[in-house]
Protein backbone atom coordinates (compact mmCIF):
# COMPACT_ATOMS: atom_id res chain seq x y z
CA UNK A 1 0.00 0.00 0.00
CA UNK A 2 2.82 2.44 0.84
CA UNK A 3 4.39 1.90 -2.57
CA UNK A 4 1.15 2.87 -4.29
CA UNK A 5 0.93 6.16 -2.34
CA UNK A 6 4.55 6.97 -3.18
CA UNK A 7 3.92 6.31 -6.87
CA UNK A 8 0.85 8.57 -6.78
CA UNK A 9 2.87 11.41 -5.26
CA UNK A 10 5.44 11.15 -8.06
CA UNK A 11 2.75 11.74 -10.67
CA UNK A 12 2.57 15.48 -10.21
CA UNK A 13 -0.28 17.51 -11.58
CA UNK A 14 0.78 19.63 -14.53
CA UNK A 15 0.98 23.35 -13.86
CA UNK A 16 -1.56 25.46 -15.71
CA UNK A 17 -0.42 28.23 -18.09
CA UNK A 18 -2.76 30.85 -19.55
CA UNK A 19 -1.55 31.96 -23.00
CA UNK A 20 -2.99 35.32 -24.04
CA UNK A 21 -2.50 36.50 -27.62
CA UNK A 22 -4.91 37.88 -30.21
CA UNK A 23 -3.22 35.80 -32.93
CA UNK A 24 -4.46 32.20 -32.84
CA UNK A 25 -1.35 30.97 -34.68
CA UNK A 26 0.88 32.36 -31.90
CA UNK A 27 -1.28 30.69 -29.24
CA UNK A 28 -1.01 27.41 -31.16
CA UNK A 29 2.76 27.79 -31.54
CA UNK A 30 3.21 28.42 -27.81
CA UNK A 31 0.86 25.56 -26.95
CA UNK A 32 2.96 23.23 -29.14
CA UNK A 33 6.14 24.44 -27.44
CA UNK A 34 5.01 24.04 -23.84
CA UNK A 35 1.94 21.78 -23.98
CA UNK A 36 3.94 18.62 -23.24
CA UNK A 37 5.04 20.09 -19.91
CA UNK A 38 2.09 22.27 -18.92
CA UNK A 39 -1.70 22.38 -19.26
CA UNK A 40 -2.40 25.28 -21.60
CA UNK A 41 -5.47 27.51 -21.46
CA UNK A 42 -5.97 30.15 -24.14
CA UNK A 43 -7.42 33.66 -24.30
CA UNK A 44 -7.65 35.88 -27.37
CA UNK A 45 -7.65 39.28 -25.67
CA UNK A 46 -7.16 41.03 -22.35
CA UNK A 47 -10.81 40.94 -21.29
CA UNK A 48 -11.00 37.19 -21.86
CA UNK A 49 -7.69 36.79 -20.00
CA UNK A 50 -9.07 38.56 -16.90
CA UNK A 51 -12.09 36.27 -16.85
CA UNK A 52 -10.07 33.09 -17.40
CA UNK A 53 -7.47 34.10 -14.82
CA UNK A 54 -10.21 34.26 -12.17
CA UNK A 55 -12.04 31.13 -13.34
CA UNK A 56 -9.02 28.89 -13.95
CA UNK A 57 -6.43 30.32 -11.50
CA UNK A 58 -3.45 29.49 -13.71
CA UNK A 59 0.02 29.05 -12.24
CA UNK A 60 1.45 31.55 -14.76
CA UNK A 61 0.23 33.85 -17.53
CA UNK A 62 2.01 34.46 -20.85
CA UNK A 63 0.64 37.82 -22.00
CA UNK A 64 1.03 39.56 -25.35
CA UNK A 65 1.11 43.35 -25.27
CA UNK A 66 -0.32 44.44 -28.63
CA UNK A 67 -3.93 43.25 -28.63
CA UNK A 68 -7.28 44.81 -29.57
CA UNK A 69 -9.82 45.81 -26.91
CA UNK A 70 -7.50 45.68 -23.88
CA UNK A 71 -3.74 45.66 -24.38
CA UNK A 72 -1.28 43.64 -22.31
CA UNK A 73 -0.17 46.60 -20.20
CA UNK A 74 -3.75 47.31 -19.05
CA UNK A 75 -4.41 43.61 -18.55
CA UNK A 76 -1.26 43.17 -16.45
CA UNK A 77 -2.18 46.20 -14.34
CA UNK A 78 -5.68 44.81 -13.69
CA UNK A 79 -4.35 41.32 -12.89
CA UNK A 80 -1.85 42.71 -10.39
CA UNK A 81 -4.45 45.07 -8.85
CA UNK A 82 -6.95 42.29 -8.14
CA UNK A 83 -6.59 40.31 -4.88
CA UNK A 84 -7.73 37.12 -6.65
CA UNK A 85 -5.03 37.30 -9.35
CA UNK A 86 -2.24 39.52 -7.97
CA UNK A 87 0.08 36.62 -7.09
CA UNK A 88 -0.13 34.90 -10.49
CA UNK A 89 3.19 35.45 -12.29
CA UNK A 90 2.86 37.33 -15.58
CA UNK A 91 5.38 37.01 -18.41
CA UNK A 92 4.98 39.61 -21.12
CA UNK A 93 5.64 37.99 -24.51
CA UNK A 94 5.85 40.61 -27.24
CA UNK A 95 7.35 41.81 -30.49
CA UNK A 96 7.98 45.23 -28.91
CA UNK A 97 11.72 45.75 -28.84
CA UNK A 98 11.99 49.04 -26.96
CA UNK A 99 13.58 49.12 -23.52
CA UNK A 100 10.93 51.65 -22.48
CA UNK A 101 8.19 49.02 -23.05
CA UNK A 102 10.07 46.48 -20.94
CA UNK A 103 10.49 49.03 -18.12
CA UNK A 104 6.78 49.83 -18.26
CA UNK A 105 5.86 46.12 -18.11
CA UNK A 106 8.12 45.55 -15.12
CA UNK A 107 6.80 48.67 -13.39
CA UNK A 108 3.32 47.15 -13.73
CA UNK A 109 4.70 44.15 -11.78
CA UNK A 110 5.15 41.79 -14.73
CA UNK A 111 7.53 39.05 -13.62
CA UNK A 112 9.46 38.78 -16.90
CA UNK A 113 9.61 40.15 -20.43
CA UNK A 114 10.28 37.87 -23.41
CA UNK A 115 10.77 39.28 -26.91
CA UNK A 116 9.39 37.60 -30.03
CA UNK A 117 10.77 35.72 -31.81
CA UNK A 118 11.99 33.44 -29.04
CA UNK A 119 13.43 29.95 -28.85
CA UNK A 120 11.17 27.37 -27.23
CA UNK A 121 13.90 26.45 -24.72
CA UNK A 122 14.28 30.09 -23.67
CA UNK A 123 10.53 30.34 -23.04
CA UNK A 124 10.51 27.06 -21.10
CA UNK A 125 13.49 28.19 -19.03
CA UNK A 126 11.76 31.48 -18.18
CA UNK A 127 8.58 29.66 -17.14
CA UNK A 128 10.51 27.07 -15.11
CA UNK A 129 12.59 29.72 -13.33
CA UNK A 130 9.55 31.78 -12.35
CA UNK A 131 7.54 28.78 -11.17
CA UNK A 132 10.52 27.45 -9.21
CA UNK A 133 11.02 30.83 -7.53
CA UNK A 134 7.31 30.99 -6.70
CA UNK A 135 7.48 27.49 -5.18
CA UNK A 136 10.56 28.40 -3.10
CA UNK A 137 8.90 31.60 -1.88
CA UNK A 138 5.82 29.61 -0.81
CA UNK A 139 8.06 27.17 1.12
CA UNK A 140 9.82 30.00 2.97
CA UNK A 141 6.48 31.66 3.82
CA UNK A 142 5.15 28.38 5.26
CA UNK A 143 8.29 27.94 7.38
CA UNK A 144 7.96 31.47 8.78
CA UNK A 145 4.38 30.84 10.00
pTM given for the model: 0.86
The whole-number average pLDDT for the span 123-127 is 96
Rama region for 80: left / alpha / beta (φ>0; ψ in -120 to 50; rest): alpha
**Phi and psi of 37, rounded to 5°?**
-100, -25
Per-residue pLDDT at 145: 55
Which residue, among 26, 102, 91, has the nearest Cα to 63 in the 3D structure?
A: 91
Query: CA of 7: how far to CAs of 4, 56, 84, 98, in Å?
Result: 5, 27, 33, 48
List, in order of start, the domains of the chain with CATH numbers: 11-144 (3.40.50.2300)
* Residue spans of beta strands (DSSP E) within the chain: 16-20, 39-43, 60-63, 90-94, 112-115
Asked if residue 110 has pLDDT above 80, the reply is yes
Amino acid sequence: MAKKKTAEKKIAKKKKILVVDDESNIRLLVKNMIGHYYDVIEAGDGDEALIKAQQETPDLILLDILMPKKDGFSTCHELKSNKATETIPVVMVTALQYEMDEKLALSLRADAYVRKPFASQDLLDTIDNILSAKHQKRKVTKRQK
